[in-house]
């Protein structure tokens, strides 16, 4: 296993990784497309995404050859998963796909870096420069100006990123990540349904909106996670973290191709700062501080 992770990735690993990154970026495109066309409201989109993802993952876990004993029910992880999906959906009422993905990804990584610092990791000078650069890029992206994204939408997406970061940290070291994810999706469904009830007065959905929500849950979330876990078994932690730098860029170019969105100079500069800064942190060596 160590040789597979330490050497060059095989063609199968490259294909699986690329497919997973496309799926993660497609989540932003599908949500933005559904809400932009007013085909569905965000609460309904999130609920349908959660339910279809839970069903897909439950079926996959049940039919796979591997059998494992169910782990403990992590309700905090389920709440964080629900919070990510809910805030993600409402944020895309106003945010372009690429901008939303960049804020989400930046918030996720900054959350995980912050937890690492609190747990005793020590960053070297290069890592601190990278962290400062990433934070500056996020601040510049949402700072007031003609090209700035809506502040409320950006705040919602930042909260979604923090929730996803916490959820990711909760999943470290689980014996069966696919089964754990399926369980978390199932436990998050009731929260999503309650949210839909709270917004029932503004609920609406047409066939296209429902189809996009199902695609986001079953394909780009459910199957996307299955593909990602298959790729993770052959990737080092550093490579796994680094390849995710591509997700906001894929979402941005997908927004240009499919949603007629523009890549503004502000978005380009902020992307370079945020992704470049995160890359510096990822490629620098961190150490545990001694008590």
pLDDT at 144: 73
In angstroms, rounded to a whole number, what is the distance separating the alpha carbons of residues 142 and 224? 29
**Strand pairing category for 121-122 and 287-288:** antiparallel
Q: Is 170 exposed, middle or buried (0-12, 13-18, 19+ CB in 10 A)?
A: middle
**Cα separations (Å) of 278 from 21, 106, 127, 171, 265?**
17, 8, 8, 21, 20
Residue 205 phi/psi, 5-degree rounding, is -165, 135
The β-bridge partners of 121 are 288
In the DSSP assignment, the letter for residue 276 is H
Q: What are the residue boundaries of the structural domains of the chain, listed by start?
A: 2-288
Q: Are 5 and 231 in contact (CB under 8 A)?
A: no
Q: How far apart are CA 26 and CA 49, in angstroms?
A: 13
Write a three-state SS string for 168-231: HHHCCCCCCHHHHHHHHHHHHHHHHHHHHHHCHHHCCECHHHHHHHHHHHHHHHHHHHHHHHHH
Ranges of the chain with pLDDT below 70: 1-9, 65-71, 145-147, 237-238, 285-291
pLDDT at 16: 92
- Looking at residue 147, its pLDDT comes to 67
């Amino acid at each position: 296993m160590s040789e597979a992770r330490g050497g060059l990735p095989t063609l199968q690993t490259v294909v699986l990784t690329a497919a997973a990154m496309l799926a993660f970026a497609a989540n932003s495109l599908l949500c933005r497309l559904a809400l932009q066309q007013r085909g569905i409201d965000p609460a309904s989109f999130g609920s349908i995404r959660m339910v279809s993802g839970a069903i897909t993952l439950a079926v996959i876990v049940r039919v796979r050859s591997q059998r494992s004993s169910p782990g403990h029910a992590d309700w905090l992880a389920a709440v964080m998963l629900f919070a990510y999906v809910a805030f993600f959906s409402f944020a895309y009422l106003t945010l372009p796909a690429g901008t939303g993905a960049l804020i989400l990804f930046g918030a996720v990584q900054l959350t995980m870096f912050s937890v690492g610092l609190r747990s005793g990791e020590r960053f070297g000078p290069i890592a601190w420069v990278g962290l400062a650069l990433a934070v500056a890029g996020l601040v510049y992206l949402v700072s007031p100006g003609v090209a700035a994204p809506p502040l409320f939408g950006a705040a919602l997406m930042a909260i979604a990123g923090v929730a996803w970061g916490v959820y990711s940290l909760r999943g470290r070291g689980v014996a069966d990540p696919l089964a754990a994810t399926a369980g978390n999706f199932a436990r998050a469904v009731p929260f999503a349904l309650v949210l839909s009830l709270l917004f029932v007065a503004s609920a609406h959905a047409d066939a296209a909106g429902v189809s996009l929500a199902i695609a986001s849950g079953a394909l780009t979330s459910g199957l996307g996670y299955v593909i990602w876990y298959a790729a993770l078994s052959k990737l080092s932690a550093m490579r796994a973290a680094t390849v995710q730098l591509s997700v906001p860029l894929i979402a941005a170019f997908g927004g240009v191709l499919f949603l007629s969105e523009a890549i503004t100079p502000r978005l380009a500069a902020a992307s370079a700062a945020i992704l470049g800064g995160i890359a510096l942190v990822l490629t620098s060596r961190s150490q545990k501080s001694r008590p």
